[in-house]
Structures are given as C-alpha cells and as structure tokens.
Amino acid sequence: MKYKSVFDIIGPIMVGPSSSHTAGAARIGRVARKLFGRQPKRAEITFYGSFAKTYQGHGSDVATVAGILDFDTFDLRLKNSLLLAEKAGLEVVLTTSDVLTEHPNTARIMLSDDQHQIEIVGVSIGGGKIEVLEVNGFDLQLGFDTPTLLVLHEDRFGMIAAVAKVLTQYRINVGLMEVSRHDRGARALMAIETDGEVSSEVLEEIRQIPHIFDVTLLSLN
C-alpha cells in the first residue's frame, strides 16, 4: 500500500508507544468488530512475528482488544481495554505462534457468539496503516481507508456487472475492486473500495440482486 501523505507516515492520533504495534493493532481489531457487526462474546487473537515477540511491551494486546470493543486509536480507554472487555462479558483468548508469515506484524482474529463467527488476518504496515489479507478464508488486500463494500455472492457469470450497474446508477466511483473465491461456482467475495459514501438505498438495491448472500459496508474513518 502506498502512503498518500506525510501524515500517513507520521501516523494517527493515538494512545500507545508505537504506530505499528499499537495503532495498527487497534485498527485490525476494529475491522474485525465492524465486520462482525456487534460486540462478540469471544475473541481469539493470535499474534505472529514481531507482534508475538513484543505485544506486551508495545501494547498490541490491549490495542487489539480495544479495537474489538470499537474504540478508536485515540480513545483513552484503550489502555484499560482488557478490564473493560471482562466487564462487558467478552472472553479474550490470546496466543502467539512461531509460524512464519509474509509480514512481521500479523494478527489473526476470530470473533464469535452463539449465532455468528468471523475470522480475519491483518497486518500493520507502519504509521498506523493496515492491510487485511484474509476474511473468512477469502484472500484480499484491503486497507479500509475509504468506504469499502463487501459483497458475498454466488460465483457465477454477471455478478460483477450487476453490482457495478447499481454503483453506476448512483454515480459512485470505484477506486479498487477485488474478487476472491474458494472454488469455481461456489461462494465468492467481492470487495469494492469507493471514493465516496454509500447510502443505505444503494446497499438495499445490491441486496436485491439475485444470488447475493450478504452485503456489508465498512469504513474506519
């Protein structure tokens, strides 16, 4: 991912000692929470690489849990997130792994309750910026810096065109689109970064397209 300005390199307004290990960790946790859609009952967090070695000293653990609680990087409650999670009834399971990953600051987060489960893999690339490389087994590369549509659909001819038609009707410009699938003809995940806000009317119209299973809009800003 390229940095858009010097402020991306300096990093965000934040609580904690490290933009990579604290702010980035919080943003990864918050992406998981936003995708889950509500507060989970259980959070399983696995740190790899540098995260695994330094998470306590750099606060990656409290930052990730803070993100899962939907706290922003500058929220002063971040440092007390483990206690706040316990009070909120959120069970946190934290582990580390020696498995080698492509990026040293990698975290895998699984959120669940009695009805739902989601799993993401995210990396902190510096300056508080992140990339999400996997969502429920679908390979992607997203930063969630702009409003991002995630469309779960059947892998069949015409799906991309159908979604693009709706966006065109509402004059929504697409900055980036990725499509990932598990197997040909099975389920696929379409990820669309847009240049502007996406209204509830647009989301509902996309949901009405045949063979669409789920539509989610996520933005951390």
Judge whether residue 113 has pLDDT over 50.
yes
Scanning the structure block, which residue is given the tokens 């647009």?
A: 202
Confidence of residue 145 (pLDDT cuts 50, 70, 90): confident
> CA 88 to CA 32: how far, in whole Å?
17
The CATH number of the domain covering residues in 148-218: 3.30.70.260
Judge whether residue 5 has pLDDT over 50.
no
Residue-wise pLDDT for 39-62, tens only, equals: 999 999 999 999 999 988 889 999
For 6-142, CATH number out of 3.90.850.10, 3.30.1330.90, 3.40.50.620, 1.10.10.10 equals 3.30.1330.90
Confidence of residue 21 (pLDDT cuts 50, 70, 90): low
> CA 70 to CA 147: how far, in whole Å?
17
Predicted pLDDT at 58: 85
Give the other-Cβ count within 10 Å of 85's Cβ.
19
Residue-wise pLDDT for 154-186, tens only, equals: 999 999 999 999 999 999 999 999 999 988 989
The alpha carbons of the chain give a radius of gyration, in whole angstroms, of 17
> CA 217 to CA 208: how far, in whole Å?
15
Q: What is the pTM of this model?
A: 0.86
- CA distances from residue 200 to 20, 48, 204 in whole angstroms, order as listed: 33, 37, 6
Q: Where are the domains of the chain?
A: 6-142, 148-218
Alpha-carbon 3 to chain mean position: 18
Judge whether residue 3 has pLDDT over 80.
no
Residue 19 φ/ψ, nearest 5 degrees: -65, -35
